[in-house]
Amino acid sequence: MSNDIIDVSMISNNTKKIKAAITAIGGYVPEDFISNKDLEKMVDTNDEWITARTGIKKRRILKEKGKATSYLAIKAANDLIKKKKLEPDTIDLVIVSTITPDFHGASTSPTVASQINASNAYAFDINAACSGFLYGMSTATSYIESGRYKKVLLIGADMMSSIVDYTDRSTSILFGDGAGAVLIEPSKNEFGWEDEFLRSDGVGADWLKIKAGGSLYPTSKETFEKKWHYITQDGKTVFKSAVSEMANATEQIIIRNKLDRNDIKYLLPHQANKRIIDATAEKINLDKNKVLMNIEEYGNTTAATIPLLMHDYESNFKKGDKIILAAFGAGLTWGAAYLTWAYN
């Protein structure tokens, strides 16, 4: 047996750490929509009131019978595959972040993986509501950084119209349907996923939820009659918490990474409400010109909002841009993340 001593520190120092990076983006929203004028005929509201309080003008709706969240996710994935000229059988893992799966008890992601011909991938869902994309990015980048996988497809997709009560003014004005997809691979340069700050707190679970359909309140005649299968929220409490926690998480990222606010190129916040977005930007003292929004056209698409922002503004991003992501959702779940853009 050799008596040579191996210097473990030398091994670790000479081993280059794998950095994960977004290398492609896809997106999809349905053509049909419900405008504020349409909502005026459905609930006691008007265009001026909705616009002033939310910044939303329309929300896309998947109206086709027999279509569900998987359809939205597949369309976004195929958009990415076409643009990237990606061979689907090279994808190692498919993750779908959603709170509106096609079925309870059967994950949506295997359906998506099969339909896009990702024949060598395994798949699973993540349920973290509006923070789902951030939680998914944390998971996907960890798989890449471990060296175990080379290509992870992450999709944020929700068909919120399936759980919205269109007689409820507080929620019907907010939500829409859509999907965004990103491909995560090992970075070919020094840019990519830099840091994350993710948190959760079950104390606020009652503030934003769908009460029935789970094991606590299984589906019954009573749950249908009480409309417990629709999403409900305590708007004022959620508003205050969203601003506070998104701003705090973003501050943690800025401080931890010693970022100068002038060097931050863009903030991509969850698109829940324009007033929440504006208040968050003001609380962290960030120039509003750096804050990206598309809420006017889509409303709140839950797990899809951040990847749809990436999809819509992709041409604005340049290699090396410092970008902050922030979200807040049911659970409660929230967080922020920092990445440097990896391609032009």
Q: What is the pLDDT of residue 11?
A: 43
From 248, 270, 273, 311, the catalytic residue: 270
Angle at 133 between CA 131 and CA 138, to 5 degrees: 100
Helix (H), strand (E) at residue 1: none
Task: Tell me, yes or no, if 270 is annotated catalytic.
Answer: yes
Contact (Cβ atoms closer than 8 angstroms) between residue 325 and residue 199: no
| pLDDT of 86 | 98
Q: How far is CA 126 from the centre of its chain?
A: 11
The domains found in the chain, sorted by start residue, are 14-186 (3.40.47.10), 193-340 (3.40.47.10)
> Does residue 13 register a pLDDT over 80?
no
104 is an active site residue: no
DSSP code for 88: G
Could you read off the pLDDT of 129-172 as tens digits, one per residue? 999 999 999 999 999 999 999 999 999 999 999 999 999 988 99
Question: 3-class DSSP state for residue 94?
Answer: strand
Coil, strand or helix: which one is 54? helix
H-only helix segments in the chain: 8-14, 36-40, 47-54, 69-84, 109-115, 132-145, 169-172, 221-225, 235-256, 274-283, 295-298, 305-313
Q: Are 10 and 134 in contact (CB under 8 A)?
A: no
> pLDDT tens for residues 22-46?
999 999 999 999 999 999 999 999 9
The token pair at 262 is 């002038």
With beta carbons less than 8 A apart as the criterion, state whether 184 and 149 touch.
Answer: no
Query: How far apart are alpha carbons 210 and 229 in whole angstroms?
Result: 6
Q: What are the residues whose beta carbons fall under 8 Å from the beta carbon of 216, sequence distance 6 or more?
A: none
Closest CA to 238 of 272, 207, 211, 209: 207
Which one of 36, 248, 273, 300 is the catalytic residue? Answer: 300
- Band (47; pLDDT cuts 50, 70, 90): very high
Confidence of residue 3 (pLDDT cuts 50, 70, 90): very low
Average pLDDT score, the chain: 93
For tokens 């050799």, what's the residue?
2
Give the active site residue among 36, 130, 248, 311: 130
Spatial separation of the C-alpha atoms in residues 104 and 47, rounded to whole Å:
35
For the record, the structure tokens of 83 come out as 């643009």
Angle between helices 305-313 and 132-145 (to 10 degrees): 70
- In tens, the pLDDT along 257-316 reads 999 999 999 999 999 999 999 999 999 999 999 999 999 999 999 999 999 999 999 999
Q: pTM of this prediction?
A: 0.93
Is 130 assigned a catalytic role?
Answer: yes
56 in Cβ contact with 36 (< 8 Å):
yes
Q: Is residue 201 a contact partner of residue 332, using CB atoms and an 8 Å limit?
A: yes
CA-CA distances (angstroms) from residue 21 to 4, 144, 192, 342? 39, 9, 4, 6
Distance CA 22, CA 79 (A): 15
